A and B are shown apart, each in its own frame.
Chain A
Amino acid sequence: MTVTTETRMLLTGNHAVAYAVMLARPAVVPVYPITPQTPILEKISDLQLAGEFEVDLMTAESEHSAMTACITASLTGARVFTATASQGLLLMHEMLHFASGARTPIVMMNVNRTVSSPWGFWPDQTDSLSQRDTGWIQYYTESAQESLDTVIQAYRVAEQVMLPTMVVHEAFYISHSLEPVIVPAQDAVDAYLPPFDPAIRLDPDIGRSWGNPVNQELYFRFREAVGGSMDTVPGLAVEADAEYGRAFGRSYGIVERYRMEEAEIAIVAFGAMAGTARVAVDALRAAGVAAGLVKVKLFRPFPIEAVREAVTGVPKLVVIERNFSPGAGGILHQELKAALCGMVGLPKVHGYMAGVGGVNVSPKRIEELTREALATEPVPQSVWRR
């Protein structure tokens, strides 16, 4: 079935992503299977076989090669997509740096999964967060609908700044849970997302090369240029999201404030944890606790201005997250503190590593942790809470 009109379907997060990819019309999709990403690859294959999605699907022999082929196909002027998780993302690491340095606007879906050792298949965000210095834009989503909408927006932003973009959702909570999802019409997406047609590309008639060895001075300038482009991303992401809202009726912002009126504490979270935190906030409010939620959707570049604005006037923040950087603590906790450092009226910041390894963090547990944060003074470190 070709999506000619907006359609409501019951989809898993991963299948919603596959529809978003089809609607974005990449020409080349090199991909390698890994749990819990595989349903994205399988759905794309099915859509291709059914004749709905005209795409060159390259069944690469590794994620490293899949990412390599994404990079060179993009340099040759093709819109590309790939998807991975966990070990696959880590195997790509060298090429992730290469992709941003080569200024390729690849869009990739990463389905968060614990990294080995020991082996696990659970929703833990350390895989993608450990790639935060690779020069990729990173978005974290909390529902199947948001993943679909964000993949389409990601192409728009990536191709404006010529930087690769990772959209991230968590294993099983999002990837395999069924939700009603609105799949937009193809012509509406075509109007939102013009074809990718870069003027500079690999072509004998153009005669440009990529990646030649450079001296220190040139290397400095290339890096500075990447930084300059990154700096424009928050503004462009807000614009892309607002225009998406006008075209499709859904928008998310890059940092969202939920029930923040007069808040004495704000839970700071991203991904599926933000969805759970909404329920906890509702319960806390019902019990008379002035708690709110700040959801950080855009994580790279870290939207410092938007985050500061979101927490202005809030005396206390509590980060609840499912990742751990040994020697540093919870990654969102550390990033948030760095972003707020020097802010006038700096809130106190608690950090709880509660969902590491994919352990369930219920709305009730978030409520308890929020109350605990309210009643105690924060320590500089992130704190383990089971």
Chain B
Amino acid sequence: MRANYEIDEAGVFLSGHHACAGCGEALAVRYVINTMGPRTIAVVPPSCIAIIAGLQPNSSMHVPIVHGTLESSAAAAAGIKRALVSQGKDDVNVLVMAGDGGTYDIGFQALSGAAERNEDMVYVCMDNEGYMNTGAQKSGSTPHLASTASTPGGKLTGKKNIAEIMAAHRIPYVATATVGYPDDLARKVAKARDMKGMRFIVVLTPCIDGWGLSENAAVGVSRLAVETGIFPLIEVEDGVRYTINHGSRGVPVERYFAGQKRFRHLGPEQIAQLQAEVDEGWSLLKSRVECDPTGDPTGDPTG
């Protein structure tokens, strides 16, 4: 039941920004900000997104942006929205675009607090699975065994499941998305934009430099992340109604790892272990959908 969604490029995002050629995050920023539209105020913490947004006096976006601190994005957005409401300007949307470091790790307290208060914002986490702006160190989002500048031998623990953590806050809307499925991404952003309360979307954004990809690989790798079941595309409403939009097509994880230098050191045993972890995660997710009488048990795992 895949929604056919045409991306309405409102022209909020401009060309000439400073991301690496082929950057997945820049693509996501473009889809997100263009879908949010011009009646938006954005909060951007230190991250590659800040570099994409631009150095003074330039800006790559036709909306006001606050370049805040790394750990405070959700609180910053809450302050803006509350001030807007106090002035009767509730029609303006407040958007956060933060990295995984600014979301899973150092910014998590502010995010969790904002979710608990059900602050009115769209929070988009641009997830490139590491601290890329500071030279590709590990974050709480870096996958198990991936090599980073601070875990050169491979990360010994797994990736946090931020979507489930946010769903556990019982906020109105949680979704996962990725740049290889732009229609799905834009549809989710538009849906979130038109809702109220705390909306959270985590977007997997392959990083050329940090993942060790060729410049034309971001979109293909993003699709493989979904087709292997490593990063299923889902929606969770009110913390309980799970929908799988795109999921595993049974593609072996090895194919996802193949194009990425951060997984180059893996031997067959490690790959088998990671395959088992991914399979387990995928069945767990499906069981959540099946548990929910209103959910669609299959979603469109093959579509």
Contact = CB atoms under 8 A, between A and B. Distances in A.
A75 interface: yes
B77 interface: yes
A47 interface: no
A94 interface: yes
Interface size class of B (residues with CB under 8 A): 35 or more
A212 B74 CA distance: 18
Contacts of A80: 79, 83
B82 interface: yes
A65 B64 contact: no
23 contacts: A30-B75, A58-B79, A58-B82, A59-B117, A64-B72, A65-B75, A65-B109, A68-B69, A69-B76, A69-B79, A72-B79, A74-B83, A75-B66, A76-B80, A94-B69, A202-B41, A202-B66, A203-B41, A203-B64, A207-B62, A208-B64, A210-B65, A214-B55
Nearest to B84: A76
Nearest to B62: A207
Interface string A176-198: 00000000000000000000000
B113 A71 contact: no
A72 B68 contact: yes
Interface in A36-73: 56, 58-62, 64-66, 68-73
A203 to B, nearest CB: 7
A61 B80 contact: no
A290 to B, nearest CB: 52
B141 interface: no
A59 B273 CA distance: 45
B38 interface: yes
B40 interface: yes
A27 interface: yes
Given A64-B75, A73-B79, A210-B64, 17 more contacts: A30-B82, A58-B79, A60-B113, A61-B109, A61-B113, A68-B72, A72-B68, A75-B80, A76-B80, A78-B87, A95-B69, A202-B83, A206-B64, A209-B65, A212-B55, A213-B51, A215-B55
A28 interface: yes
A77 interface: yes
Q: Lowest 8 A-B CB distances belong to which pairs?
A: A61-B113, A69-B79, A65-B75, A72-B79, A76-B83, A211-B67, A78-B83, A27-B86
Interface in B28-57: 38-41, 43, 50-51, 53-57
B87 A62 contact: no
Nearest to A57: B82
Contacts of B89: 203
Given A58-B82, A73-B80, A76-B80, A211 B68 contact: yes
A204 B38 contact: yes
B64 to A, nearest CB: 5
Contacts of B54: 212
Interface string B116-154: 110000000000000000000000000000000000000
A68 B114 CA distance: 12
Contacts of A213: 50-51, 55-56, 67
A71 B82 CA distance: 12
A69 to B, nearest CB: 3
Given A60-B75, A61-B110, A204-B41, A209 B66 contact: yes
Nearest to A207: B64
A69 B78 contact: yes
Given A64-B72, A68-B69, A76 B79 contact: yes
A28 B86 CA distance: 8
B298 interface: no
B274 interface: no
A28 B74 CA distance: 16
Contact of B79 (A71, A207, A211, A212): A71
B127 to A, nearest CB: 22
A218 interface: yes
